[in-house]
Amino acid sequence: MHNQCSDWPTPPAAAVPGQARFRELLVPRVLAFESFRKAIEAGPGADAALRDVAALAHKIAGAAEVVGYPNAGEFSAALETSILRGFAAGATVAGIWREAAPLFERLLDEMECILDA
């Protein structure tokens, strides 16, 4: 399901070089997320793949807002938090993924919108 793209403010001129690099990294990151999703849904290695999703979401959350994409930063942080809370609570990988999957989809949609802009 493709959601409507978020409106984001034009970044300050100083952020433009960082924004270009952020955008360059989006395609490999989308591909990585899709690879992690396949591993999670396949079963074996799902725990590690889910942790990889959280780690990559953390990287995106740390940079997105700085370069002018606050919604991508917010969605990334929410995804990371959801996964880490699930692990901390002792939830199963399937349970964590059930909770995190909508956030994961929302982040991917946002990343695609950024690429399409």
Give the pair of three-digit tokens for residue 27.
Answer: 């395609």
* Nearest residue to 94 via CA among 31, 48, 41, 30: 41
Q: pLDDT tens across 39-96, in order?
A: 999 988 999 999 999 999 999 998 998 888 999 999 999 999 999 999 999 999 999 9
110 pLDDT more than 80: yes
Mean pLDDT of the chain: 89
Residue 8 has pLDDT above 70, yes or no: no
What is the predicted pLDDT for the residue at 65? 86
